[in-house]
Amino acid sequence: MKIEIWSDIACPWCYIGKRRFETALDAFAHKDSVEVAWRSFQLDPSLPEHFDGTETEYLSQMKGMPPEQVRQMFDHVSQQAAGEGLNYDFDAIVVANSFTAHRFLHYAGTQGVMSEAKEALLSGHFEQSRDIGDVSYLAEVASSLGLDAEETRRVLESDEYSAEVRADIAEARELGADGVPFFVIDRKYGISGAQPPAAFSQALETAWGESQKLTVLAGPQAADDEYPDGAVCGPDGCN
Per-residue pLDDT of 188-216, as tens digits, reads 999 999 999 999 999 999 999 988 776 55
pLDDT at 122 over 70: yes
Higher pLDDT, 169 or 218: 169
For residue 202, the model assigns a pLDDT of 97
Average pLDDT, the chain: 92
For residue 142, the model assigns a pLDDT of 98
- Per-residue pLDDT of 54-95, as tens digits, reads 999 999 988 888 999 999 999 999 999 999 999 999 999 999
For residue 234, the model assigns a pLDDT of 55
Q: Where are the alpha helices (DSSP H) in 30-187?
A: 55-63, 67-82, 99-110, 114-126, 135-144, 149-156, 162-174
Q: Is 101 helix (H, G, I), strand (E, B) or coil?
A: helix
Q: How confident is the model at residue 233 (pLDDT cuts 50, 70, 90)?
A: low
Burial status of residue 222 (CB atoms within 10 A of its CB: 0-12, 13-18, 19 or more): exposed
Does the global pTM surpass 0.85? yes
Is the distance from CB of 177 to CB of 7 less than 8 angstroms?
Answer: no
DSSP string, 164-188: HHHHHHHHHHHTT--SS-EEEETTT
Q: What is the dihedral sign for C-alpha 40, 62, 139, 126?
A: negative
pLDDT at 52 over 60: yes
User: CA–CA separation, 140 vs 148, rounded Å?
Assistant: 9
User: CA–CA separation, 6 vs 190, rounded Å?
Assistant: 11
Beta bridge partners of 184: 4, 190
pLDDT at 226 over 80: no
According to DSSP, the β-strands at 237-238 and 35-40 are: unpaired
Burial status of residue 33 (CB atoms within 10 A of its CB: 0-12, 13-18, 19 or more): exposed
- Per-residue pLDDT of 10-46, as tens digits, reads 999 999 999 999 999 999 999 999 999 999 999 999 9
Amino acid in the structure at residue 60: S
User: CA–CA separation, 136 vs 111, rounded Å?
Assistant: 19
